[in-house]
Amino acid sequence: MKKNTTVKKKSSAPRKSRAKKKASPTAFERVTEVRTGYARLALMLVLANLFLTGYVISKISTLESDTQAEINSTQEPTTATSSDSTGGDI
């Protein structure tokens, strides 16, 4: 028996894998792909916006109520005289 002495030459071309490759993503899939890091950041910003808006609204409402109470307390009460309450002499 003769030994097989043929030598295969290595080619520089890349070999094709027998495993199935994923099809390249379509344009729609690339646009709708969401990276989790960006989604987390967006949720954090929404939460920060919500808390800051609530804080500002609560401060404005307490400021307005304090101002209204101050206005009511600084007004001098007017005393009605007997002629004022009846509308005067006719």
For the segment 9-66, what is each residue's pLDDT rounded down to a tens digit? Answer: 666 656 665 656 667 778 888 778 778 999 999 999 999 999 999 999 999 988 888 8
What is residue 35's DSSP assignment? -
In this structure, are residues 62 and 55 in contact, taking their beta carbons and an 8 Å threshold?
no
In tens, the pLDDT along 43-58 reads 999 999 999 999 999 9
Rounded CA gap, 69 and 9, in Å? 95
**Amino acid making up residue 23:** A
What is residue 72's DSSP assignment? H
